[in-house]
Amino acid sequence: MITSIVDIDTQFFLFLNGLHADWLDPFFYYFSQIYTWVPLYLLVLFFIIKKWGKRALIIIPLLILTIVCTDQSCNIIKRTVQRERPSHRSEISAEIHLVPDTSGELYRGGHYGFPSAHATNSIAFVLFFIFFVAQKKKWLMAIAILWSLLMAYSRIYLGVHYPLDILCGLILGCCWSLLWIWVFFRYGNKCFSKKE
């Protein structure tokens, strides 16, 4: 059963990774880099402060806590499960499309890849954005979700994650984000309501 799931995951990965074009390589490489999106993260923080005022003193630390939880839980699971990234598997290396990094070397990521921290962190961030900035703006929600999914797909395109790494990362990110969003609306928001 587990073997068949892994085989299906590998074949699906090879199919998706095979949908590449050389001109897209730099796009997906830089799209996948965290520093590329620093201006976006700062903009979202600005809008949280603008919309929520003093409540942002709780929301922003909860967002940071969420990302710490998603990132560290991914690291713990990676070290426990120890599922090798496709980019490190010699038996399928000839079939994988890998992309050069800024030094000219092929980008392979760390040794273990389950689950994808990029997928986990991006969906967690997007859920905070939807709940605290983009409520009632369906077009903004759609763009945010598309951004997260494109971030997740970029990891398959680059050859460093299987689809199952991505799916489990998205689920994990949703769980952590919704937990801390619930904490805010259950406790944090009420604290300010009493004072104001």
Give the tens place of pLDDT for each residue, 118-160.
999 999 999 999 999 998 889 999 999 999 999 999 999 999 9
Average pLDDT, the chain: 93
Containing 160, the helix (H) or strand (E) segment is none
Q: Hey, what are 144's tokens? A: 């945010």
How does residue 193 score in pLDDT terms, banded at 50, 70 and 90?
low
The full length of the chain comes to 196
| Per-residue confidence (pLDDT) for residue 196, from 0 to 100 | 47
For a pLDDT cut of 70, what percent of the chain falls above it? 95
Domains of the chain: 2-195 (1.20.144)
98 Cβ partners below 8 Å, 6+ apart?
A: 87, 106, 107, 108, 158, 159
| Per-residue confidence (pLDDT) for residue 136, from 0 to 100 | 85
How does residue 3 score in pLDDT terms, banded at 50, 70 and 90?
confident
| Per-residue confidence (pLDDT) for residue 195, from 0 to 100 | 46
111 Cβ partners below 8 Å, 6+ apart?
A: 84, 85, 88
Query: What is the C-alpha to C-alpha distance for residues 124 and 10, in angstroms, rounded to an integer?
Result: 26
Q: Tell me the whole-structure pTM to 2 decimals.
A: 0.92
| Per-residue confidence (pLDDT) for residue 46, from 0 to 100 | 96
Statement: residue 188 has pLDDT above 90: no
